[in-house]
Structure 1
Amino acid sequence: MGETVRLVLGGDVMTGRGIDQILAEPGAPVLTERYVTDARDYVRLAERVSGPIPRPVGPEYPWGDTLEVMDEVPSAVRLMNLETSVTQSEDRERGKAVLYRMSPANLPVLEVAGVHVWGLANNHVLDHGRQGLLDTFGALGAAGLTTAGAGRDAEVAWAPAVVPVPGGQGRVVVLCVAHPSSGVPPQWKAGRTRAGVALVDDLSRDSAELICGRLLAASSPGDVRVVSIHWGTNWGYDVPADQRAFARRLVESGVHVVAGHSSHHARPIEVGGGGLVLHGCGDLVNDYEGIRGYEQFRGELRVLYLVTLDAATGDLGALQLVPFRTRRLRLERANAADSRWLADTLDAASRDLGTRVELARDGRLGVPVA
């Protein structure tokens, strides 16, 4: 392989609720959930599990050891899914059990991560209404942060983000979309004159062609093309046949990386035809540490995906997974036992897709690429 393009991919970043409350400028803690009515209770739940959490913390605190790992590849383009509205709006989406928002004053928690594209096509970005969405655009835009997957109208929501490779040659073109299987309400779909998200109604061939057409129209020869898609259920390793077929169509049509998210843990990996499909990147930053249930999936384990692609062809050259564990609402490197568990679990889950996941000596996970 000659010249390469590097990507750093993370899953869902949920900086509302408890995360917002430990930062320097927390918003109102009032929640309308069935069992929790104060966001600070999520901090207390985490403290019961792991011990006292300092308050206030600096913007780098929730990211913990991930910042050092990301800085190892300064030329990489970073892509994550921001599953939180950035607003003080008191509007609330009726019928939704859980709503996320963070104070705009805590925006440094996003800036410090150096993410090049924040995906907004998900099932929480409009939790606090269209005013909350407009506030999110305004806050992120004022900070110079690039977004994709939501907009003031459909044309903007469906516009790919184009990122020059830092300090190198080439570009990465990113299109962010959501599918109703992740819980996105149909009324959140962006329209000709309506703000909303880039929502695909189904996983048909026509939807794949729509995505690829938008992506290719924004691309030039030699660009790396990425589709970030919010889809699927929260728990489990089974990948529905329609999702597998849809991802395969995208790769066959010229997409180099399909980065899925919505599940609360890492899901199977599929490598083939020169392309990479991450069916579920899992959560990265959130306040779930003290929440009980579904312990068998080890939701406290988080992953950063380090992807190396051939700059000329976009073909996958290498994939490395770096495991982390959340402790006191901060991400720290996973220990040897946790890394082994994650490697064994993802290897078993990915075998039917023709992919193996191996544990490396440094505690990172590797995926052999033919």
Structure 2
Amino acid sequence: MSRRLVARVVPAALAIGLAGTGAALMQSRPSAGAVPDTDQVQGVVRDETGRPVAGATLRVGDDTARSGADGRYAIPAERPALLNAVAPGHLPRTQAVQPGTAADVLLTTGSDRTLSVRFGGDVMFGRRYYEPKDGRPPALTASSGVADHAKLLSAIRPLLEDGDLTSVNLETPLGPNPYYDPKKPRPARFHQSKDLAFASSPKAAEALRQSGVDVVGLGNNHVLDLLGPGIGSTLKALDAAQLPHFGAGMNDAQAWAPAFVARKGRTVAFLGCTTITGNDQSPPYVAGPDRPGAAACSVPKLQAAVRAARTRAQEVVVQLHGGVEYQRAQTPDVRALFAAATDAGASAVIGSHPHVVGGVQQRGNAVVAETTGNLLFDQDLWSTFPSYLLRTDLRDGRAVATTTDPFTISGYRPQPAVGAPADAADRIAAGSVPGAARLAGPGTTIGQPEQAAGRGVALPPGQVRRVAPGWRLAKGARAGQDLLYGTGDFERATVGDDDENLWELGKFAKLRTAAACNSTRGLMLLRGPVSSEDVYATPAHRVQVTAGQRLSLLLNLRQATKGATAEIAWYAGAQGASKQTQTISLPSVNNGANSCRQVRLDVVVPPGITFAQPYLRLAPPTDNVSAHRLEADDVRLVAWAGSGAAGRLYDTVEASGSAPAQFTHDGAVGDESPVVE
């Protein structure tokens, strides 16, 4: 069912020739045009106490620079890249940077007595990696070797290597013949009663080691997918790759045994367990006295294991698998286990299982990450694509500095992220739970001194603004979150040669500078006199929503002719046809090179709907002489929060009264605005 909707009408003073258009068109705004200093990255190098670090050496590609006495630096960069920074007596750091933007760098002191530990989320190399995707051949085949597996992590490898130790949750068994056709009966070597069972090749173990992973957690609900023999083959493959492992074994005692790893004369103990036990399955996913599987979490066992490990290690890390899939907030029972682990002396507690990233906070001396999402996984759910790597620097049983490095999963492969998609991941990390997490831009920092600066802004009535990176709404405006996670600005937002931006573009839909409103690229759709079908652009996958949610589909319109529409299709699930569609006709405008106008469609998610998908569409002309054109930028699907909501999570604001909205920046600021037009 389809119905054409007229969007909310803006105040008369802002309406510009809207009679009969069916869209809300906001007043003109200047195009950004040329962006200053787009050929370099600038910032400040600081230590974990906030003091400037002088004389640090920074490198981007073949270019190098040194920080001054005030910690400031500037270094050439022509495109998104990885920056490496080193300074005597400090831990080195690698992070993604974007030309034309500020990037502060945190170098932790005491490199001889401090260990940097990186954490990645869920990892598997099976299932859809063996299947063609979007016209491309499979990433892996039965004959794929270690190099083929390692290639999947090649873009993120420099960040995995940026640490004295790196640990991931290996959410798959390793065994021969890991793939089977899902349309055929499940082979007997796989677990038969659970809904999903998959596996990866033993070659994945060596690929992980070569990609910078040093230790592997197995305490999860998929380690038993190849049953008992699969546990044995997994342990054998990891041992052959010299990768320490923890969280699963041939019996309960082995599953609870810590992995002790030494670096710099210090020892870190890794423990893991799962709350997803499968006790209603045959066999259960967790180990018993004489049964293989993962360690089953309980407060008494967890606290006893942490305390015992503390007698042999200076630092104890717990990787805990539990919660609800695709929910960023952890459940009360999992949070109780987090608290039990930190109370017993763990320095870091790292959550997994939901497949989406969540918040990070400091709890006493320890850092707690609610969920680290996916690192390498074959999922198509939109909410799993923004992710991050966590790094925590541990000293004498305490997390002295913790940061996140955002990345985007595109084509099932992780790529370091910059720009609006990076800001989206940062806001999830800093704003999903209470605490002192700060928007560092890029990334999030936890445990550094508070350096807040405030500013009031009078927001134009009826217009929506994006909150600038590093800023957060304190009060005085309606707050929302872009469910497209910044991908609708169409900018190059990942490090590397792969320029995918998670949108599906029809044959005559292109990303072009001539269509941009705010930076270097916008969306251009074209239809000519001989065209016979619509051309469209849409996010590559459906977006999860909740019935009753208030949403706004926003776009900045640069040019539109007859036949241009925007629509939201509603779905009851991840598969199947749409239940209904809400559509607006876009007004015919031609704003030239210097201005764009904002169009919005306000909707409420209908009952029974769990997924939405926005489309921009252009119909062909009905005569033999006309040409149709649509140029748009900054497409967002904003979920509005309740009255009074504020904080780091929200990237979008709208005026809610006549008083200026108040914003806070997580650091020193110059004259930049808290909002982006």
TM over 0.5: yes
From 4, 8, 11, the counterpart of 2:118? 8
Structure 1 residues 182 and 304: alpha-carbon distance in aligned structure 2, compared to 1, 3 A threshold: farther
**Counterpart code for 2:444:** L
Which residue does the alignment assign to 2:172? 84
From 412, 421, 427, the counterpart of 1:344? 427
Which residue does the alignment assign to 2:106? none
Deviations 1:265-315 (A, max 9, x none): 111222121111111011100122xx2x4x3x3x112211111112x2x11
**Identity percentage of aligned residues:** 25
Which residue does the alignment assign to 2:386? 301
Over the aligned positions, Cα root-mean-square deviation in angstroms equals 2.4
* CA distance in structure 2 between the aligned counterparts of 1:348 and 1:264, rounded to whole angstroms: 18
Structure 1 residues 271 and 182: alpha-carbon distance in aligned structure 2, compared to 1, 3 A threshold: farther
Which residue does the alignment assign to 1:191? 288
Structure 1 residues 52 and 187: alpha-carbon distance in aligned structure 2, compared to 1, 3 A threshold: closer
**1:176 lines up with 2:264 in the alignment:** no
* CA distance in structure 2 between the aligned counterparts of 1:365 and 1:359, rounded to whole angstroms: 5
* Aligned residues of 1:182 and 1:233 also touching (Cα < 8 A): no
Which residue does the alignment assign to 2:302? 211
Shift of 1:317: 0.9
**1:359 lines up with 2:450 in the alignment:** no
From 412, 416, 419, the counterpart of 1:329? 412
**Counterpart code for 2:258:** P
Please report the TM-score for the alignment, with normalisation by the length of structure 1: 0.80
**1:118 lines up with 2:216 in the alignment:** yes
**Counterpart code for 2:165:** V
Deviations 1:66-90 (A, max 9, x none): 21123333xx111111011111374
Structure with the bigger RCO (C-alpha within 8 Å, sep 6+) is 1
* Aligned residues of 2:362 and 2:368 also touching (Cα < 8 A): yes
Deviations 1:93-135 (A, max 9, x none): 1222221111224543223223222111111111121122222
SS in 2 for 1:63: coil
Map 1:69-108 → 2, pairs under 5 A:
69-73=159-163, 76-88=164-176, 90=187, 91-108=189-206
SS in 1 for 2:232: helix
* CA distance in structure 1 between the aligned counterparts of 2:334 and 2:311, rounded to whole angstroms: 27
Please report the TM-score for the alignment, with normalisation by the length of structure 2: 0.45
**Counterpart code for 1:268:** G
Structure 1 residues 103 and 54: alpha-carbon distance in aligned structure 2, compared to 1, 3 A threshold: closer
Shift of 1:224: 0.3
* CA distance in structure 2 between the aligned counterparts of 1:102 and 1:221, rounded to whole angstroms: 33
Shift of 1:54: 6.4
Structure 1 residues 256 and 61: alpha-carbon distance in aligned structure 2, compared to 1, 3 A threshold: same
Shift of 1:174: 0.7
Shift of 1:246: 2.5
**Counterpart code for 1:179:** T
* CA distance in structure 1 between the aligned counterparts of 2:242 and 2:418, rounded to whole angstroms: 36
Larger C-alpha radius of gyration, 1 or 2? Answer: 2
Shift of 1:187: 1.9
Which residue does the alignment assign to 2:550? none
From 349, 357, 361, the counterpart of 1:266? 357
Which residue does the alignment assign to 1:232? 323
From 67, 77, 83, the counterpart of 2:157? 67
Map 1:243-262 → 2, pairs under 5 A:
243-262=334-353
**Counterpart code for 1:197:** A
Structure 1 residues 318-327 or 241-250, which shifts more?
241-250
**Counterpart code for 2:118:** V
Runs of 4+ in 1 over 4 A off after TM superposition: 51-57, 181-186
Deviations 1:122-159 (A, max 9, x none): 11111121122222122222222211111111111110
Runs (5+) with no aligned partner, structure 1: 22-39, 201-206
Shift of 1:189: 2.2
Deviations 1:179-218 (A, max 9, x none): 1279995723212222121112xxxxxx323212223223
Which residue does the alignment assign to 1:318? 401
**Counterpart code for 2:295:** A
Shift of 1:231: 0.5
SS in 1 for 2:390: strand
Deviations 1:313-369 (A, max 9, x none): x1111111111112233322113110111222333312xx32334132xx2322244
* CA distance in structure 1 between the aligned counterparts of 2:257 and 2:411, rounded to whole angstroms: 38
Structure 1 residues 318-327 or 81-90, which shifts more?
81-90
**Counterpart code for 2:362:** V
* Aligned residues of 1:84 and 1:102 also touching (Cα < 8 A): yes
Runs (5+) with no aligned partner, structure 2: 1-108, 178-186, 450-677
* CA distance in structure 1 between the aligned counterparts of 2:354 and 2:254, rounded to whole angstroms: 26
SS in 1 for 2:334: helix
* Aligned residues of 1:225 and 1:256 also touching (Cα < 8 A): yes
* CA distance in structure 2 between the aligned counterparts of 1:117 and 1:54, rounded to whole angstroms: 25
* Aligned residues of 2:275 and 2:322 also touching (Cα < 8 A): yes
**Counterpart code for 1:124:** H
* CA distance in structure 1 between the aligned counterparts of 2:233 and 2:161, rounded to whole angstroms: 30
